[in-house]
Structure 1
Amino acid sequence: MMRWNHRIKMFTAIFSLAAVLTACGGGANEAATKDSAQDAGTLATATHSADTSTTETSSADTNEADAADTSSNSAATGSSSDEGKIGLDSTLQELQQKYADNLGYIRIPIKDHPVRRVSEEGSKNINIANYSDAVVNMNTGIPIHSDSQRLIDDAFPFFTTVQAPEVSYVSWEEATNLERAMVKTLFISRQALLLTEDAMKNKDYTSQTFTDSMDFFKTAAEFDSMAPVAQHTYDITLTKLYDKARDVWGKLAAIDPVQDEAAFAEMYKSARTEANNTMGLLNILLSTNEEERLEQTYGK
């Protein structure tokens, strides 16, 4: 597998902001897009934040050579009492035997508590990792976003055939957990950005849709919101881009547009850019000729 260590560049050569952040024809029709915008408002009921002060956690160091086991969206922790633990204790071998699919990806359903404290034979390290295909609250294992089949039916075509219909893509079953989670999360973020733009144009920051959009960005940016652990080399780069995007989303949500409209507008531009960069990479990684397309964009 080719390793991709090139510096992250802007994806405007692949998709313009207008192409990704405005309604498109093709596989995702306008009605479905508007209906899916309601997913940005489901965050209040889908997310249940909890206090993590009883457990000492920190971001795990990412090593591309160990991409199948760890990533920057897992947390490393030392030994602690059962009280306040995050995740269920498991060994990597147990998870591979029980939950690995025919591609070797560990996929734990939401109902089976996807956040695990994973130990490996011969190592004292314990990694807290999310093995679902959704961004979840690490304390509860509950997705921070809608996880409906309807969302998948709208979002997956949007990030594949709608953007580049001439390209061949993997199936939903073949996508990594992180790619699936990004399909859901980025589709909702796109709706939230469009709703935010409407609020800016109308100078109306009191609507429920604007409030829901800011709530989504705040939730996505929280430390407790954990994306799936990387199980493929390219997942690591996708994680880095997503982390950059959600950091800016959090900064956007922290600005009161009524008090400082100029600062809000400037941060909104950054939020669009980072979201677009992540969406562009996601489209490439979901294609069957991902290595060829990456080389065309970045060189060998």
Structure 2
Amino acid sequence: MRKFLVLSFACGFLVACGGNASEETNSDNEERSHSTVRGSEEEEVTNDSNQSDSQTTTEDDEKEPTDASDEELSESELEALRILTIPMDSPYDEDGNMKHEHTQIEIVEDYMDDDGRIYFDLDEDPVRNITNPEDENIVHVTNYADVFINIIEAEAFQLDEELREEAYKFIMLSPPQELEGKNPSEYRTWEEASNLERGVMQMIYLTAAPIHNIDYIVQEDLYNHDALPILLEEFEKLGSPMVLFPAPQTVYDMQLFELIQDLHQMWGQLGQFENPSENKEEFEELYFQVRQETNDLIVRMNFLLSEEM
């Protein structure tokens, strides 16, 4: 029986839905994933009472039913299901105004590097107001970090360095058929990826375990499990209009930005879904759509990273 995951290095079902992973690989990946469920339920195989030992076959074996609803999680285990975020300084000052403001020309002249990239770390106030030089009334709140940021809660969806490497590998290990056999050296590295590409890779990785956990709930019909409200709450937070994506800065970023906008909206819809237990068919349809869009995004990331800038 599958378990609830805290953080999955490679949720096999995601890759499988992308059409390029074997069942054996999926099983290995899930076994390596960290589980919060305390202990596992043993499955006892019993023979049909009308069959003799010599006539027993695999088809005659029956498994004793198990009650998956008994898999209760402690309060700390339920909290561990939440998506990782790190606190950061608010982009707003004490008066509620954005701390930094630039025109489109100023931000380019003062901060764009030789590769045509504008980047600020989280401790450098990456969220800034950018005004249109032709009309000062047009202001864009822009995220120049490489992570998704909730600007009201002042928290970032950022992986540590080791997990960022795992997130990159997760994408590389899930190539579409067109890119099978492509030498890893032909892909752009993490350092060569744009802010938005890095942010999307981190979000794919951070949402892999929650998607797996909802899949488990759907497959095992555990709609009354205490984990489901927490998982939906996390997707509602992800889908908040206050979550700001890294600003697109390349031609490829514009394609990616449209895809993540669509998925971001679905996160919010999934998180705000009311009474899943009473509307299972509609809930499952939305959930499977989120999962498929995530798989499509993994494929798109493979193609984008295989392109030179």
Q: Quick one: structure 1 residues 204 and 178, their matched pair in 2 at CA, closer, same or farther if it must change by over 3 Å?
A: same
One-letter identity of the residue aligned with 2:301 = L
* DSSP-derived class of the 1:102 partner: coil
Show the counterpart of 2:301. 282
**CA RMSD, Structure 1 to Structure 2 (Å):** 3.6
Looking at structure 1, the residues matched to 122 and 159 of structure 2 have their Cα atoms a distance apart, in angstroms, of 10
Show the counterpart of 1:88. 100
Looking at structure 1, the residues matched to 308 and 16 of structure 2 have their Cα atoms a distance apart, in angstroms, of 21
Question: For the Cα contact (< 8 Å) 1:178–1:230, is it kept in 2?
Answer: yes
1:197 Cα shift? 0.5
* DSSP-derived class of the 1:174 partner: coil
Q: Quick one: structure 1 residues 24 and 279, their matched pair in 2 at CA, closer, same or farther if it must change by over 3 Å?
A: farther
Looking at structure 2, the residues matched to 227 and 30 of structure 1 have their Cα atoms a distance apart, in angstroms, of 30
Moved more, 169-178 or 121-130: 121-130
Question: For the Cα contact (< 8 Å) 2:131–2:140, is it kept in 1?
Answer: yes
Q: Deviations over 1:178-228 (max 9, x none)?
A: 000000001222222111100112222455654443233111211000101
1:147 Cα shift? 2.5
Do residues 139 (structure 1) and 152 (structure 2) align?
A: yes
Do residues 188 (structure 1) and 203 (structure 2) align?
A: no
* DSSP-derived class of the 1:175 partner: coil
Q: Quick one: structure 1 residues 47 and 33, their matched pair in 2 at CA, closer, same or farther if it must change by over 3 Å?
A: farther
Looking at structure 2, the residues matched to 119 and 24 of structure 1 have their Cα atoms a distance apart, in angstroms, of 53
Structure number with the bigger relative contact order (C-alpha 8 A, sep ≥ 6) is 1
Do residues 263 (structure 1) and 285 (structure 2) align?
A: no
TM-score normalised over the length of structure 1: 0.68
Q: Quick one: structure 1 residues 23 and 115, their matched pair in 2 at CA, closer, same or farther if it must change by over 3 Å?
A: farther
One-letter identity of the residue aligned with 1:221 = G
Alignment of 1:203-222 (within 5 A): 203-205=221-223, 207=225, 209-222=227-240
Show the counterpart of 2:56. none
Report % sequence identity.
21
* Aligned pairs, number: 242
Looking at structure 2, the residues matched to 260 and 209 of structure 1 have their Cα atoms a distance apart, in angstroms, of 18
Question: For the Cα contact (< 8 Å) 2:239–2:271, is it kept in 1?
Answer: no
Question: For the Cα contact (< 8 Å) 1:21–1:190, is it kept in 2?
Answer: no
1:160 Cα shift? 1.8
Do residues 112 (structure 1) and 131 (structure 2) align?
A: no
Alignment of 1:238-249 (within 5 A): 238-249=256-267
Do residues 129 (structure 1) and 142 (structure 2) align?
A: yes
Moved over 6 A (4+): 20-24
Looking at structure 2, the residues matched to 267 and 227 of structure 1 have their Cα atoms a distance apart, in angstroms, of 23
